[in-house]
Chains A and B, each alone.
Chain A
Amino acid sequence: MTLPETTQLAGRRRARANGWAGNALRFLVIIVTTYLGLLAVTFFIGRVIPIDPVLAILGDRAPAHVVERTRELLGFNKPLYQQFYIYVRDALTGNFGTSVLTTNPVMTDIRRVFPATLELATFGTIIGSLIGVPLGVLAAVKRGSIADQIVRVIGLVGYSVPIFWLALLSLLLFYARLKWVAFPGRIDIVYEYSFTPVTGLYLIDSAWQGQWDVFRDVFRHIILPASLLGYFSLAYISRMTRSFMLNELAQEYIVAARAKGLSESRIIWAHALRNAAVPLVTVIALSYAGLLEGSVLTETVFAWPGLGLYITNSLQNADMNAVLGGTIVIGSVFIAINILSDLLYRTLDPRTRAR
């Protein structure tokens, strides 16, 4: 559950930037090889490691001809490279096989559960950024003060705490004792049938339809898991904000701004933060990707019907198609966010534009 450190990765790629076409080509190579690598690893996990996938499906008492027939049906009699080719072809068209547990195609299941995870991770990132950035700025400006120390400890605890444990304790406090929040799942059973989601993002759907009682209920469900994920990303965001801000505050243009007589708050928020914001966008994007992953454990505790819970449920039932399909989807989103944040960085920072 660590956050990715692809900022340095981005830096290395940036250093070699030459020309628009070269960039585009390089990106294409990166996307293709990374995605192929992801598929190769999941293929390896699914096809090579288990003793025999056919036996896993049929059990060890199936007659020999049935085993042979199944093997042919699933394409396991073909050489490994052909199997991999078929696997890649299927994965590119979104065909991850059928879930043993739900008997649906895995992609159908994922499409159903993914909005729940998306809504949770997005809300979490918003909370984490809205609190984490000001905290980081505060720590940088009051460097060495008590406030700086407190922010540091908040961040360190966020790095060190097992998120599922914090989730359990917060449920105990805010749900069982104080009764401030709702649990379990995304929405109360009362609204389960009267409310028809469109996008699958319940907060947006209910607000759009003007069902404010549903909105309130959804909010009461999402606020606790989203806050926990928000805390997790806050630890990372506040730490990075502090370091970026310290970097900017030591620059000469800050001295120049002070000499011009600008107010301190204007220097901090309008000048320094504006420049720190460029790398910060990358950090927030990466922490968003981290939350998609962090949601696996959080969703399990909150019975949140998202991709994380889907993966862990499938794990418990040895439903490998679903597990690997979920892994590929999360991995793809990860890769996409990595590349998007890299592109965003180039667009926002004029210095990295290769001209």
Chain B
Amino acid sequence: MSEISQSPPMSRREWLMSDRPQSRLQARLGRAYMTWRRFSANRLAVAGLGIILLLILVAIFADVLAAHSPVIGNLAGARLLPPGSEGYLLGTDDQGRDILSRLLYGSRLTLLVIVLVAIIAAPIGLLVGAVSGYAGGWVDAVLMRITDIFLAFPKLVLALAFVAAMGPGIQNAIIAIAITSWPPYARIARAETLTVRNSDYIAAVRLMGASPFRIVLRHVMPMCVSSLIVRVTLDMAGIILTAAGLGFLGLGAQPPLPEWGAMIAAGRRFILDQWWVATMPGIAILVVSLGFNLLGDGLRDALDPRESGQ
């Protein structure tokens, strides 16, 4: 121990890059730093991260940023104004509502959908996959068969059928999307579990008398999280597109909620003469899902160098 205190003071970077970390905290921070270095070397990935951070900020400060009400418009004086009109940067829709304000508020719905879907679907997949991989045998066979069955389904059509039965609305859309998006997570969690289940530390924990329940929950599931995060991020774009598709068909968020897909559907009637009503929400969807795809690609490369080895 005395050697350490005598060694010359290290720069913060050296401390982080040290291959002999002195504490758990240093090891963790060091690893995070390496990951960040790999991640930030990829300019597109950083751009994706920027888009997502912007989305979160916009969602938080929507009421400050929006100049107009997202729901109540100026029917008398501001119907279907083109972009660049006085006070209406992106124009107005058929009810005289400011499209920019609606987009800003709509970011909250987008964020709500992806966060809730992730909170519902990822733990289900994680639990199914970890249990399946750790238990093995017939439990594994049955759980994986169920997962495969769900994987073989067309996601959007199944979500459509769910929403049709449960009734349109944003909650039901979220549930339907979550129900159809957990199987890939289960597969990933199972694959990760299989790689750690026979490792020494699991044997050590078992020797100390930990129950299978505790092993799966405390020692197996945390190992699956990083590859799961990558996968969930990559799926976010698909989730946004599915939610927007449901909204476009009138099965997602109901009017007057400023959901981007529903806004496109509303603007569809005027597409020939007032193109901006349908165009602007589409750009918002494209930018956000592009952001998630870029971020997911970057995360995959940074967290899992093997995958991106090519």
Contacts and interface: CB of A to CB of B under 8 A. Distances in A.
B286 A168 contact: no
Tell me what chain B mostly uses at the interface: helix, strand, loop, or mixed. Answer: helix
A335 interface: yes
B272 interface: yes
Tell me what chain A mostly uses at the interface: helix, strand, loop, or mixed. Answer: helix
A218 B274 CA distance: 29
Contact of A37 (B149, B248, B249): B149
B70 interface: no
A318 B154 contact: no
Nearest to A149: B44
A313 B281 CA distance: 24
Contacts of A250: 310
A34 interface: yes
Given A42-B161, A246-B310, A311-B160, A164 B145 contact: no
Given A45-B165, A165-B285, A316-B250, A1 B160 contact: no
Interface stretch (A65-73, A155-163, A190-198, A223-231): A155-163
Nearest to B260: A162
Nearest to B145: A33
Contact of B264 (A168, A246, A318): A168
Identify which of B165, B264, B281 gathers the most chain A CB atoms within 10 Å of its CB: B165
B245 A49 contact: no
Interface string B246-270: 0011110000000001001000100
Contact count band on B: 35 or more
A17 to B, nearest CB: 16
Contacts of B285: 161-162, 165
Given A38-B153, A297-B249, A156 B271 contact: no
A8 B183 CA distance: 13
B93 to A, nearest CB: 15
Interface in B118-139: none
Given A33-B145, A34-B148, A168-B278, A327 B245 contact: no
Interface string B157-175: 1101110111000000000
A280 B19 CA distance: 42
B244 interface: yes
B166 A49 contact: yes
A144 to B, nearest CB: 11
Given A161-B286, A164-B264, A330-B157, A5 B151 contact: yes
B275 to A, nearest CB: 6
B267 to A, nearest CB: 8
Contacts of B290: 156-157, 160
Given A162-B241, A176-B272, A315-B164, A296 B278 contact: no
Contacts of A292: 154
A331 to B, nearest CB: 6
Contact of B293 (A50, A160, A162): A160
A237 interface: no
B157 A320 contact: no
B286 A157 contact: yes
B279 interface: yes
Contact of A320 (B165, B282, B297): B165
B293 A159 contact: yes
B73 interface: no
A247 B310 contact: yes
Interface of A: 1-2, 4-6, 8-9, 30, 33-34, 37-38, 41-42, 45-46, 49-50, 156-157, 159-166, 168-169, 171-172, 176, 243, 246-247, 250, 289, 292-294, 296-297, 300-301, 311-312, 315-316, 318, 320, 323-324, 326-327, 330-331, 334-335, 338
16 contacts: A1-B238, A1-B245, A5-B184, A33-B145, A37-B146, A37-B149, A38-B149, A45-B165, A46-B165, A156-B293, A162-B244, A168-B271, A169-B282, A300-B249, A315-B251, A323-B160
Interface of B: 145-146, 148-158, 160-162, 164-166, 184, 187, 235, 237-238, 241-242, 244-245, 248-251, 261, 264, 268, 271-272, 275, 278-279, 281-282, 285-286, 289-290, 292-294, 297, 310
Given A156-B290, A316-B250, A330-B154, 12 more contacts: A9-B148, A49-B166, A156-B293, A156-B294, A160-B293, A162-B248, A169-B278, A172-B275, A296-B157, A296-B160, A311-B157, A327-B161
